[in-house]
Amino acid sequence: MSLTEEQIRGNLQRIEERIRKAAVSANRTPESIKLLVVSKRQPVEVVENAARAGVKLFGENYAEEIEPKRQALSVFSGIQWHMIGHIQSRKVKIVAEMADYVHSIDSLELALKLNRALEERGRDLPVLLEMNVSSEESKSGWAAWDGSHWEALSLEIEEVLACSRLDVHGLMTMPPLAENPETVRPYFARLARLRDYLAARFPATDWRELSMGTSADFETGIQEGASFIRIGQAILGPRPAWISG
Ligand SMILES: *Cc1c(COP(=O)(O)O)cnc(C)c1O
């Protein structure tokens, strides 16, 4: 059932065309949008086929899936592994060793722990702060749906910015699943406003990245200013329920 290199190549071409159209509709250049291919729960053979089809940026939700896939792809150059899922405390060390980029810094506690683990290893890591801009329904991210909380939020973010091994580059969000991509437009717009607010407040930090949009709603993400979109199923096919072996 795993997709072949040819099938993945075809999916990539179709998605890249849709990215181009969405970018043009928003007066943006397609080059300003980075496509992260989400390979969570996909077996190593699918990830290898994707690399043969030219994919360079992979997104994973489970820290322990990165190492075997990274090893399998060691013959390809320029591959990056981005952590996009919630990071449990006991997985912080794996992330500090294995990830090239983290989109899912969702608490001050996690930021401090990851910073310590990176200090021990002498590594710096580019990171995004994950915001919950929709409501209690979507559990992941800092509570940021109410603008009157942004002031208090900035006090915590100031502490994250002081972490010497974390290079904060912007924000990420994962809205609740919606049938209609228009449902998530106000959330993506709110993430962009929050980014502008933080950029005014902390001008020394480079807030260039907005990671928003999946297979279901990436065109809306692009129209609202996404610089990273995270697409899994539309490129790699349906995810198996779990990986064996
Ligand atoms: C799974 C996942 C995606 C990709 O979802 P698809 O529906 O496969 O495109 C993007 N972002 C996060 C945080 C995810 O967990």
Condensed to tens digits (0 to 9), the pLDDT of residues 19-56 reads 999 999 999 999 999 999 999 999 999 999 999 999 99
**In CATH, what number is assigned to the domain containing residue 96?**
3.20.20.10
Q: Say which residues have a Cβ less than 8 Å from residue 22's Cβ, sequence separation at least 6.
A: 218, 219, 222, 223
Note the pLDDT tens digit of each residue in 69-79. Answer: 999 999 999 99
Tell me the pLDDT of the chain averaged across its residues: 96
User: Rounded to 5 degrees, what angle do the CA atoms 27, 34, 71 make?
Assistant: 170
Instruction: Please count the structural domains in the chain.
Output: 1
The reply to whether 242 falls in a domain is no
> Quick one: which atom of ligand 1 is closest to the CA of 216?
7
CA distances to 22, 62, 66, 176, 229 from 217, rounded to whole Å, are 11, 22, 25, 11, 9
Report residue 179's pLDDT band, with 50, 70 and 90 as the boundaries.
Answer: confident
Q: Is 215 in the pocket of ligand 1 (CB under 6 A)?
A: yes
pLDDT at 190: 98
How far apart (Å, rounded) are the C-alpha atoms in residues 165 and 126? 9
The reply to whether 128 falls in a domain is yes
- Residue 223 Cα to ligand 1 midpoint, Å, equals 18
Residue 145's CB is within 10 A of a number of other CB atoms, namely 19
- Residue 122 Cα to ligand 1 midpoint, Å, equals 30
Q: Calculate Rg over the CA atoms of the chain.
A: 17
The reply to whether 216 falls in a domain is yes
The reply to whether 156 falls in a domain is yes
The reply to whether 243 falls in a domain is no
In the predicted structure, residue 241 carries a pLDDT above the cut 90: no
Domain span at residue 44 reads: 5-236
pTM greater than 0.85 (yes/no): yes
Q: Is 212 in the pocket of ligand 1 (CB under 6 A)?
A: no
Q: Is 43 in the pocket of ligand 1 (CB under 6 A)?
A: no
The reply to whether 244 falls in a domain is no
Contact 227, 211 (CB under 8 A): yes
Q: Is 40 in the pocket of ligand 1 (CB under 6 A)?
A: yes
The reply to whether 198 falls in a domain is yes
pLDDT at 93: 98
- Residue 162 Cα to ligand 1 midpoint, Å, equals 30
Please compute the mean of the pLDDT values over residues 178-188 and round it to a whole number.
93
The reply to whether 106 falls in a domain is yes
User: Rounded to 5 degrees, what angle do the CA atoms 185, 140, 161 make?
Assistant: 95
DSSP state of 178: -
Element (H, E) at 231: strand 228-231
- Residue 179 Cα to ligand 1 midpoint, Å, equals 15
pLDDT at 140: 86
- Residue 209 Cα to ligand 1 midpoint, Å, equals 17
Q: Is 111 in the pocket of ligand 1 (CB under 6 A)?
A: no
Element (H, E) at 82: strand 80-83
pLDDT at 226: 98
pLDDT at 243: 52
Please compute the mean of the pLDDT values over residues 105-115 and round it to a whole number.
98
How far apart (Å, rounded) are the C-alpha atoms in residues 140 and 83? 14
How far apart (Å, rounded) are the C-alpha atoms in residues 214 and 35? 10
How far apart (Å, rounded) are the C-alpha atoms in residues 104 and 126? 11
Note the pLDDT tens digit of each residue in 48-58. Answer: 999 999 999 99
